[in-house]
Amino acid sequence: MHRYRSHTCGALRESDIDQTARLSGWVHRVRDHGGVLFVDLRDHYGITQCVADPDSPAFAEVEKFRSEWVVRIDGKVRRRPAGTDNPELPTGMVEVYIKEIEVLGPAAELPLPVFGEQEYPEDIRLKYRFLDLRREKLHQNIMTRGAIVDSMRKRMKEQGFFEFQTPILTASSPEGARDFLVPSRIHPGKFYALPQAPQQYKQLLMMSGFDRYFQIAPCFRDEDPRADRLPGEFYQLDVEMSFVTQDDVFAAMEPVITGVFEDFAKGKPVTKNWPRIPFAEAVRKYGSDKPDLRNKIVMQEVSEHFRGSGFKVFARMLEDPKNQVWAIPGTGGGSRAFCDRMNSWAQGEGQPGLGYIMWREGGEGAGPLANNIGPERTAAIRDQLGLKEGDAAFFVAGDPEKFWKFAGLARTKLGEELNQIDKDRFELAWIVDFPMYEYDEENKKVDFSHNPFSMPQGGLDALKSQDPLTIKAFQYDIACNGYEIASGGIRNHKPEAMVKAFEIAGYGEQEVIDRFGGMYRAFQYGAPPHGGMAAGLDRIVMLLCGTTNLREISLFPMNQQAMDLLMGAPSEATPKQLKELHIRTNLPAKG
């Protein structure tokens, strides 16, 4: 017999009854039922119930077992007594009568429980992550992650893509976040950067004639952490294709992402034919560039109903042509208590409030706004929004450029409060026609609003003749249930257009050559039209595992302060290490 096991803890079935089995694993829990000891023995594959009664030669040793001891158990497989079977376990029809045991690894008192799924402080969970990963739900999430990666790889290869690995030590690039810098020992005073994404390399692969590339790529960004973005590193399904239009990218990737979701949706509906929603429309209807389409609330502009009305606050705002009034319909929200609660919520979000109209029995409008604008205008708003008695509408006003994100938050809040969100489905959509540039208020300059390597719609002519803030890009995202899960674009592959695009954002030609020399040179020697995207593996896994925190689907994540509590990173370098790198630290004074 094998030194440690003849079967795993998930393998035994009724067909194994009367056999002698050897199992090794962790003591999940011990139960004492009237002097009979039941040991739930667990390994990666499952749980087997093992039994010792006072007649068992190992009974005295089993009495010493504690949670998470690693033990070997030899015994006879037998049918569980009538009425004690457990159909929820694959091994639930049998048990092992213990004849011999060996303690392979005793465990000290546990800093957190493994049995059960009770909440525990995150810092303890991360410090003892090896224990946390033994817990059933987290363990299963990690296995699901691996299966999702397998599904992605399989589907990409079926679509004719080839997998490549790009360098980890590279040059700094303006991807929109801070780089992690790596000092060079061989070249004192110079630094490598960890890639924020393999953007330049995958484009260079297209210059090299490889045609269809993908990679499950590690990416590194020195960003502040949040629940849906891990500090330090993340993984993405990175994709690039040659001789393609935007439609070609969509046609290739839509079945891949849809298929992966269908594989792991556990029967929940997944969008078959993805809508394509222009950025401006997404902002206008949903107040988000990553709208949650499970929420059926659609915002509408209702400026005309307030223009010249008795509600002077809105009427005066509308004298400025850039200002608008948007309505957020609230089906079933037509009670004073609910409307006041929404108003208080808006104040908690830093807003002066949230105006509203309620429609009472008979369809008459009520509330301060209704009283000020009169019954005709109130009825017109109700008709435009398709509302009825018992419903309400909430209003935001001003410059849409400044209030659309708050309007989106209000739409989400209303959807949650009024049960307008069908949470048992995955709604996928392309968001298209992103603006090429935006105005950076802090630095008082025009800057890229998205990926700087995207092709502007209209090409070089648009860069030369249009107001930069009106130029749209061949840039697109994939939205799912309120999250951006992928971003991509058709690339700007013409040197002159590339230089001009960066020039508008304040980069001189020489700076472009210095910073992106490899790609700039490659464009001089026959660059094919190309495009691609990158899908966030971590967020996709998070959605499919039904959690809202990326730490629940990652093996060894950092905490909210970007610290690895398990390994003790970041840590101080030794004087010898710093000397070899020709680095001297200049730490801030301790307050």
Query: Which residues are part of a known binding site for L-aspartate?
Result: 175, 221, 450, 491
Chain centroid to CA 28: 32
Distance linking the first and last C-alpha atoms of the chain: 65
Query: What DSSP character marks residue 287?
Result: S
Which residues make up each annotated binding site? Answer: 175, 221-223, 450, 484, 491, 536-539
- What's the 3-state SS for 373-388? HCHHHHHHHHHHHCCC
- Please state, in angstroms and rounded to a whole number, the distance separating the CA atoms of residues 524 and 534: 26
Q: Which residues contact 577 (CB under 8 A, 6 or more apart)?
A: none
Contact indicator for 446, 480 with CB cutoff of 8 Å:
no
Which of 320, 304, 464 is CA-nearest to residue 399? 320
Q: Which residues contact 241 (CB under 8 A, 6 or more apart)?
A: 206, 211, 212, 213, 248, 249, 252, 530, 531, 532
In this structure, are strands 428-432 and 475-480 parallel, antiparallel, or unpaired?
A: antiparallel
User: Given phi > 0 = left and psi -120 to 50 = alpha, else beta, which region is 200?
Assistant: alpha
Contact indicator for 545, 144 with CB cutoff of 8 Å:
yes
- Please state, in angstroms and rounded to a whole number, the distance separating the CA atoms of residues 577 and 4: 44
Contact indicator for 543, 426 with CB cutoff of 8 Å:
yes
Indicate the burial class of 37 (C-beta count within 10 angstroms; 0-12, 13-18, 19 or more): buried
Residue 591 CB coordination number (10 Å): 3
Indicate the burial class of 237 (C-beta count within 10 angstroms; 0-12, 13-18, 19 or more): buried
Q: What angle do CA 333, 338, 343 make, to 5 degrees?
A: 110
Strand partners, 95: 78
Helix axes of 136-158 and 246-264: crossing angle, nearest 10 degrees: 140
Residue that the structure tokens 């309400």 belong to: 392
Structure tokens, 9: 């803890």
Helix axes of 279-286 and 400-417: crossing angle, nearest 10 degrees: 50
- Please state, in angstroms and rounded to a whole number, the distance separating the CA atoms of residues 385 and 302: 9
Which of 31, 41, 55 is CA-nearest to residue 4? 41
Which of 487, 507, 497 is CA-nearest to residue 446? 507
Phi and psi of 226, rounded to 5°?
Answer: -155, 175
Which of 249, 167, 241, 257 is CA-nearest to residue 206? 241
Contact indicator for 497, 456 with CB cutoff of 8 Å:
yes
Which residues make up each annotated binding site for ATP? Answer: 221-223, 484, 536-539
Contact indicator for 390, 332 with CB cutoff of 8 Å:
yes
Phi and psi of 580, rounded to 5°?
Answer: -65, -30
